[in-house]
Chain A
Amino acid sequence: MTPRERIKAVINFRKPDVLPWIESMYDETVLAWFGQGLPPNKITMIEWEVGRAGTSLCNWPAVKGFDAYSYFGCQSFYGATIPVDIGPIPRYKLKVLEQDDRYVTIRTETGAIAKRIRGPEQTWYSMPMFTEFPVKDQKTWEAYKKRLNPKDPRRYPKDWNRGDYISACEDYQQGITTMRFNGFYGFGAELMGIIPFNLMLYKDPELIHDVGDYWEYFMTETIKDAVETLKDRVDMIYWWEDMADKHGPLISPKLFREYCLSHYQNVTSFLRKNGIDRIMVDSDGNINPMLDLLIESGITGIWPLEVNSGMNGIEVRKKYENKLFIIGNLDKRELAKGGEAMRREVNSKVPALKEMGGYVPGADHLIPVDFSLEKFREYADCIKKLLPYM
């Protein structure tokens, strides 16, 4: 089986020849690993292209990025992502508003104002402190909507050609093909900030309904061409939400039912009609209280099941059987310790969940920068022994 076939088999509750192993790594972690002995020549991806951004006609090798996944024997979470742009167009102009020795304040391309730490302690992949968001009320939302025109030709790549993309989707076997969306809670929280958005759920229901209605319309119209063209060549939908913390969901199930459920159902129904039914929600935190509602929404998979927030893959599998495929759930903190702690974490979950099916092992979030290369190698050696089926 190809790597893609293996993941497709597992998320459809079929048995592969070898259990796939999926990780997602911060680029920052990979960069840190270079300093710890990761050989750059083994993971650098180089492609030939018309040299110097098209200013000369000679073909020239250019660094396109790093593929540490193949080097370690795992697969990248996102595989090949269908490049449909669901962001604001035009983007806000990325601009440095203020900086000193310690901080830089920027306006982001999505219109928020964010303050970050500069210097050696800077961690680009940790969240900055957001001090302002683009949407505050109906008026600012109406202004933002103008950047969400589904008919804008820039939403699809310049080389969008249905036949070529169908072939590319069929040929790609190194991983799954995915489409990435923002969820109905996550989108609102990105627009207004977590606290203001949560307050608006009570203070301005009309605005929240309007945001949900428009996001459903915009997303469905935007992805329509790609979905109707590629159909089940899209192996999995990756729906970002991040709607929970350690305590539980940030939005109550009652409010999710009121504001989000029907929108989810409409979009998942559209996807299903086109043969796409592996639809995964990405939410950190304890989302146990939301799982029934997510299933009712048409969601069929979850990641990352953070152990620190009380998520337990074995319990989820027992309770929901084959209604939800599961990815992750290996406690990154225990994995990063290496040795017996790491082995205990891997061995207590992977064999059992492998037997139960519908489970792709991996850390319970992206691999953080404080996870050393030595410990990751040890973890890779340990988990790879458990992947083949006898």
Chain B
Amino acid sequence: MGETNTTEILEIVRSISNLERLSRIKEIVETAVKRGNTATEIVEKGIRRGLEDVGKRYESGEYFLSELLYAGEIINGLFDVLKLYLKQDEMKPKGIILIGTVRGDMHDIGKNIFGMLAQFSGFKVHDLGVDVEPKRFIEEVRKTSPGILGMSTLLTSTLPQLKVVIDELKAAGIRNRVKIILGGNAVTKQFAEEVGADAAALDAVEGVNICKRWVAAQ
């Protein structure tokens, strides 16, 4: 990449990180394309790094949900611009994540934010929705072969469902095919350990960072 191209990419990172107006960032991205950056470079080195910056600022307590969501809105808008230039074969996903909220729980906000961030971070995400029956998780693990299974619940009353799914994965002999990450208000790291999950995430940003670490370690 040449000097000018690097400048454009850094400008994308900075403007996403600072949550500048979408129309302004779109202009920067379009300029970067015109100056010879490939769409893949823009996504990998510009947009995803910008999102990582937003995630860091979220984790450090500078940004909150409102900022995280707006960053998602920005990135969605940028992908709209870039999809004209992106070739399917250039963007191999980092991995596949299967997500869902367990049976008996209809909460989906945290799960959806995790799914959005994971997707923008390069994962292919299969979202099973809410109130997902254990057998559906098992079937979909078999069908989609995800590297990671993310399950969520907000309610203490539906916490036991997480263990039900993990136990059924074990009974089906496929527990070791997937890393399991848990999320949601009721979940703690201690609980995740007790039920045999691989990790629990306090929030969507931490969850995606854990998934990225797992993939990097492979």
On A, residues with C-beta under 8 Å from B are 102-103, 115-117, 121, 123, 126-129, 194-195, 198-199, 201-203, 245-253, 255, 285, 289, 308-309, 332-333, 336, 368-370
B139 to chain A minimum Cβ distance, whole angstroms, is: 17
Within 8 Å by CB of A199, from B73, B103, B107, B203, lies B73
Q: Which residues on A sit within 8 Å (CB–CB) of B113?
A: 195
Within 8 Å by CB of A251, from B66, B155, B202, lies B66
B9 at the interface (CB under 8 A from A): no
| Docked pose: A194 CA to B113 CA in angstroms | 12
**Interface pair B19/A123, CB less than 8 Å apart:** no
A118 to chain B minimum Cβ distance, whole angstroms, is: 11
Q: Which residues on A sit within 8 Å (CB–CB) of B155?
A: 123, 126, 368
B41 at the interface (CB under 8 A from A): no
Contact with A along B155-187 (1 / 0, CB 8 A): 111000000000000000000000000000110
Please give 6 more A-B residue pairs, beta carbons under 8 A apart, in addition to A247-B64, A252-B66: A128-B106, A194-B65, A253-B64, A289-B64, A309-B185, A368-B156
B149 at the interface (CB under 8 A from A): no
B110 at the interface (CB under 8 A from A): yes
B173 to chain A minimum Cβ distance, whole angstroms, is: 28
Q: Which residues on A sit within 8 Å (CB–CB) of B211?
A: none
**Interface pair B203/A245, CB less than 8 Å apart:** yes
Q: Which residues on A sit within 8 Å (CB–CB) of B105?
A: 126
Q: Nearest 3 pairs between A and B by C-beta? A: A247-B203, A129-B106, A252-B64
Contact with A along B55-93 (1 / 0, CB 8 A): 000100101111101100100000000000000000000
Task: Give the contact-size bracket for chain B.
Answer: 20 to 34
A205 to chain B minimum Cβ distance, whole angstroms, is: 12
B131 at the interface (CB under 8 A from A): yes
**Interface pair B157/A250, CB less than 8 Å apart:** no
Within 8 Å by CB of B61, from A115, A121, A129, A289, lies A289
**Interface pair B106/A115, CB less than 8 Å apart:** yes
Q: Which residues on B sit within 8 Å (CB–CB) of A202?
A: 19, 66, 70, 73
| Docked pose: A103 CA to B104 CA in angstroms | 11
B217 at the interface (CB under 8 A from A): no
Max chain A Cβ within 10 angstroms of own Cβ: one of B154, B185, B205: B185
B216 at the interface (CB under 8 A from A): no
Which residue from chain A places its CB closest to the CB of B157 in the assembled complex?
Answer: A370
**Interface pair A117/B70, CB less than 8 Å apart:** no
**Interface pair B156/A370, CB less than 8 Å apart:** yes
Which residue from chain B places its CB closest to the CB of A284 in the assembled complex?
Answer: B185
**Interface pair B104/A308, CB less than 8 Å apart:** no
**Interface pair A116/B106, CB less than 8 Å apart:** yes
**Interface pair A117/B66, CB less than 8 Å apart:** no
| Docked pose: A333 CA to B191 CA in angstroms | 12
Given contacts A202-B19, A369-B157, contact A249 B64 (CB under 8 A): yes
B1 at the interface (CB under 8 A from A): no
**Interface pair A127/B107, CB less than 8 Å apart:** yes
**Interface pair A195/B110, CB less than 8 Å apart:** no
Given contacts A117-B104, A117-B106, A252-B63, contact A198 B69 (CB under 8 A): yes
| Docked pose: A390 CA to B65 CA in angstroms | 47
Q: Which residues on A sit within 8 Å (CB–CB) of B73?
A: 199, 202-203
B209 at the interface (CB under 8 A from A): no
| Docked pose: A103 CA to B58 CA in angstroms | 36
| Docked pose: A289 CA to B109 CA in angstroms | 21
Interface residues of B in 83-127 (CB under 8 A from A): 103-110, 112-113
**Interface pair A126/B106, CB less than 8 Å apart:** yes
B138 to chain A minimum Cβ distance, whole angstroms, is: 19
Given contacts A117-B106, A126-B105, A129-B130, contact A251 B69 (CB under 8 A): no
Q: Which residues on B sit within 8 Å (CB–CB) of A370?
A: 156-157
Q: Which residues on B sit within 8 Å (CB–CB) of A368?
A: 155-157
A32 to chain B minimum Cβ distance, whole angstroms, is: 10
